[in-house]
């Protein structure tokens, strides 16, 4: 039961699983690691079995004392050589065992490095807390299971040794090489039986650990709903987002279609390439400047390219261009609060068409008509931000 009174009957979501993994809650089976290590030992011993005769020959040569030689020095040298050989053999066997254990964990629960578990915590060295963990029901159950596993494996090893007692008794009558080879063969059979038993124990433990972890990650209905709200937002927010996306899509289509109306324009305003607005104003025909086309980015470049082919005057006026784009509508007059600024630009166009040379105006705009490239209202001079 959860703290909100709901039953944990829902399977964990991927987000819940990922969060648990980041916290170090992964599938871990000690019995699986023991089985893999034992199997690796079995393979390593089986692989080293053909080297036994050669190892015996090398060992035998180390036991010979040449006439006139210093026995102490020869013994020291022989022991050093034997130690190096044993260390090399142990390293050759230990590396595959360690690698197999790591690969087994990576294949089952994965490998996770949780840095917070390596910090210093006083509760870890609290004797009372340690005794409490040792005396807990879970610890006692684990201890009982460990004793049962040791008893099972010990019984199997004892049975194998008892059944091989006649062979073991006759080892003293065999040459050293044969006796050692036979001992290795008996050890391989013993390791084989122990590995088989560990495989069964590992399968049982792995299933139990998987079931325990799955139950610990189960979620209540309220937790599932809360996570869905966090990921996707409320239904109202999603509906609002869909409306905004639909409106943005419709606007892009209208802007793309408006490129065909560019030939009707009197002038084109630009900023300098990301935004373009084509307006039409003919005294006596239009009461106010009309927006015949506008767009941003690719559509803006299309408007500018078509206007250049038609020799329509183009004025770089960033502030006014953005103001009309974010507050105007295609086919409608520009906002009334922009009439003065537009009149300055149209007057400049009229003078340029009659051969006068002058810089493009930078008309002042009302505070609430100043926008940046993202459509956010901003202060400052209208032409101070270019996009």
Residues making up the chain, counted from first to last: 387
Q: What is the pLDDT of residue 291?
A: 94
Q: What is the pLDDT of residue 386?
A: 43
The radius of gyration of the chain's CA atoms, rounded to the nearest angstrom, is: 42
Contact 276, 303 (CB under 8 A): yes
For 198, list phi and psi in degrees, rounded to 5: -65, -30
Extract the residue ranges of the chain whose pLDDT is less than 70. Answer: 1-6, 20-27, 48-49, 51-72, 74-75, 78, 82, 89, 92-93, 105, 107-139, 142, 172, 176-177, 229-237, 379-387
The answer to whether domain 252-369 has CATH 3.40.1690.10 is yes
Question: Whole-prediction pTM value?
Answer: 0.43
Q: What is the pLDDT of residue 275?
A: 93
- SS3 track for 321-358: HHHHHHHCCCCCECCHHHHHHHHHHHHHHHHHHCCCCC
Where are the domain boundaries for CATH 3.40.1690.10 in the chain?
Answer: 252-369
Beta-carbon-side half-sphere exposure of residue 42 (alpha carbons within 13 Å): 18
Transcribe 273-319 into DSSP letters: TSEEEEEE--TTT-SS-EEEEEEETHHHHHHHHHHHHTT--EEE-HH
| Distance between CA atoms of residues 275 and 191, nearest Å | 78
Strand partners, 10: 219
Coil, strand or helix: which one is 269?
A: strand
Strand partners, 280: 290
Contact 28, 36 (CB under 8 A): no
Helix or strand run (H / E) with residue 207:
helix 176-217
Q: What is the pLDDT of residue 1?
A: 41
Q: What is the pLDDT of residue 10?
A: 74
Strand partners, 276: 270, 295
Q: What is the pLDDT of residue 299?
A: 93
| Distance between CA atoms of residues 229 and 231, nearest Å | 5
**Beta-sheet pairing, 267-270 with 314-316:** parallel
Place of tokens 């578990």: 117
- Determine how many CB atoms are found less than 10 A away from the CB of residue 134: 10
Q: Per-residue pLDDT tens for 298-318?
A: 999 999 999 999 999 999 999
Helix or strand run (H / E) with residue 90:
helix 71-108
């Amino acid at each position: 039961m959860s703290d909100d009174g709901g039953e944990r009957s829902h399977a964990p979501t991927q987000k819940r699983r990922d969060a648990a993994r980041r916290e170090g809650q992964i599938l871990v089976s000690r019995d699986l690691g023991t089985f893999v290590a034992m199997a690796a030992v079995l393979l390593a011993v089986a692989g080293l079995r053909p080297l036994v005769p050669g190892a015996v020959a090398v060992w035998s040569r180390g036991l010979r004392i040449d006439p006139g030689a210093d026995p102490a020095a020869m013994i020291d040298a022989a022991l050093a050589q034997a130690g190096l050989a044993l260390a090399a053999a142990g390293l050759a066997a230990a590396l595959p065992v360690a690698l197999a254990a790591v690969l087994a964990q990576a294949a089952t629960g994965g490998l996770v490095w949780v840095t917070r578990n390596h910090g210093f915590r006083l509760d870890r060295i609290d004797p009372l807390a340690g005794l409490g963990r040792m005396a807990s029901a879970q610890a006692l159950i684990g201890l009982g299971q460990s004793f049962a596993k040791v008893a099972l494996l010990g019984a199997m090893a004892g049975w194998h040794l008892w059944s091989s007692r006649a062979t073991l008794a006759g080892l003293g009558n065999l040459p050293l090489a044969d006796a050692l080879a036979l001992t290795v063969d008996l050890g391989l059979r013993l390791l084989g039986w122990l590995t088989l038993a560990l495989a069964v124990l590992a399968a049982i433990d792995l299933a139990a650990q998987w079931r325990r972890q799955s139950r610990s990650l189960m979620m209540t209905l309220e937790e599932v709903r809360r996570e869905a709200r966090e990921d996707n937002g409320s239904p109202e927010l999603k509906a609002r987002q869909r409306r905004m996306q639909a409106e943005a899509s419709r606007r892009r289509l209208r802007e793309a279609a408006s490129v065909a109306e560019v030939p009707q324009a009197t002038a084109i305003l630009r900023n300098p390439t990301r935004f373009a607005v084509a307006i039409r104003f003919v005294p006596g025909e239009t009461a106010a400047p009309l927006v015949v086309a506008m767009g941003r980015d690719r559509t803006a470049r299309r408007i500018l390219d078509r206007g250049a082919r038609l020799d329509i005057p183009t004025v770089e006026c960033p502030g006014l261009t953005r103001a009309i784009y974010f507050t105007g509508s295609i086919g409608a007059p520009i906002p009334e609060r922009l009439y003065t600024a537009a009149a300055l630009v149209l007057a400049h166009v009229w003078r340029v068409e009659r051969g006068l040379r002058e810089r493009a105006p930078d008309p002042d705009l009302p505070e609430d008509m100043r926008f940046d490239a993202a459509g956010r209202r901003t202060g400052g001079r209208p032409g101070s931000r270019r996009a």
